[in-house]
Amino acid sequence: MADGEAASSSGEQNPTYFAGESSSNPPEEQETKEEIYEPDAKRKKVDKAPDPVAEKLEHRLGGILCCAVCLDLPRAAVYQCTNGHLMCAGCFTHLLADARLRDEVSTCPNCRVEIGRSSASRNLAVEKAVSELPAECQFCNREFPRNSLDRHQQFLCEERITSCRFARIGCPWRGPWHETSSHEAACAHPTRTGLEVMEALQAASVVEEREKRLYDNIFELLSYEKITFNDLQMKPYRSDELVHKLFYETSRFSAFNNQWVVKARVTGSQRDPTQSSHREISYQLILKTKTAVPMSVHHLVVHGPFGDARVLHRINRFDFSDQDSECPEVLLPLADEAECNRLLASKAINFRLIMFLVSK
């Protein structure tokens, strides 16, 4: 009886024991383990290797050192405001020119702090760093340091665009440099007759004759008896009109026993300069004293010892009298539009005016 009871009791305990072994982890613990492991999609996204191109140091530096206005890497000088925001030289002068035309204070486009020639400074470290960053050649699409890219594109790149050496006699071919030899060997222009190439030679002669006439006129004027020159400075002022316009004017100066003034203005959109990037400066010579006899005066503007604008040579002539004391406005012959912005960004415009009096 005791043995049967023991057997029955052990039989009742064994199933409970084995059931406990087969489910060693309770249901709550199994759910916890399932929550620890992430799905495959998430694990692949986290473990994905970074793009090596996006991680290049030069690409990251290019985004940091770019101009705050045009968002491009500067090509030459780099200016910064007092808070360190960078601007290339072209955008910096353009901001100052816009502020001058609007009669406003020029500010940094990022932090709106005041900027100017005296408050902003050049960042030489950024200029040197940018010059070492790679840039792509526009012809062969290979990358070179920016400080050597210009030399490569002008003299070394085999894909640079060149003209045929017979272009002067009318050959219109333009192509990559490595094809120049093969083209010139097969070019038909060297074998053309003189009558056939006469038109191209005449067009080239017209350009040379125009330049030669200008310099001949200058040397002829230098032989005149009455010559004078003045180093002038034009300062800005505003008109009293409803819409204030920007003008420049010099102080009175003496030439040929008379008093003169040079006045200038900006042609183009002055009300909203951001709507037009085409700006020019026109000037006129004004006689301030009365003259008994008419005076035929030639005048020529050069940059002079105190100016730094790139001025082209152009001779203007006008007959001054009591009835006509102001010559018509003529454009200041600047090399390009960037020179106009650079002059507007300055506090004053310096130049040398050479005047020649034609004796009758």
| Chain segment 263-300, per-residue pLDDT in tens | 999 886 555 555 666 788 999 999 999 988 899 999 99
Give the per-residue pLDDT at 308: 81
Confidence of residue 335 (pLDDT cuts 50, 70, 90): confident
Give the per-residue pLDDT at 35: 45
Residue 161 has pLDDT above 90, yes or no: yes
In the chain, what percentage of residues exceed pLDDT 70? Answer: 81
Give the per-residue pLDDT at 266: 87
Residue 57 has pLDDT above 60, yes or no: yes
Q: Please compute the mean of the pLDDT values over residues 217-237 and round it to a whole number.
A: 93
| 8, 68, 210, 323 from 283: Cα distances, Å | 124, 34, 24, 20
Give the per-residue pLDDT at 352: 95
Give the per-residue pLDDT at 60: 82
Distance (Å, whole) CA 313 – CA 333: 7
- pLDDT tens-digit series, residues 100-111: 888 889 999 999
Give the per-residue pLDDT at 279: 83
* List of residues 6+ apart from 112 with CB closer than 8 A: none
Produce one character per residue of 328-351: b if its CB has 16 or more CB atoms within 10 Å, e if not: eeeebbbeeebbbbbbbbbeebbb
- Cβ proximity of 352 and 318 under 8 Å: no
Dihedral sign for Cα atoms in the order 69, 75, 79, 85: positive
CATH number for region 226-358? 2.60.210
Its CATH architecture, for the domain 57-132, is: 2-Layer Sandwich (3.30)
Instruction: Determine which of 3-12, 253-262, 328-337 has the lowest per-residue pLDDT on average.
Output: 3-12
Confidence of residue 45 (pLDDT cuts 50, 70, 90): very low
Residue 196 has pLDDT above 90, yes or no: no
Q: Please compute the mean of the pLDDT values over residues 331-338 and round it to a whole number.
A: 86
Q: Please compute the mean of the pLDDT values over residues 129-133 and round it to a whole number.
A: 90
Please report which helix (H) or strand (E) contains residue 254, including its range. Answer: strand 253-255
Domain with CATH 2.60.210 in the chain: 226-358
- Cβ proximity of 286 and 262 under 8 Å: yes
Kindly report the pTM of this predicted structure: 0.71
Confidence of residue 59 (pLDDT cuts 50, 70, 90): confident
Give the per-residue pLDDT at 13: 47
Domain with CATH 3.30.40.10 in the chain: 57-132
Give the per-residue pLDDT at 299: 95
Residue 360 has pLDDT above 80, yes or no: no
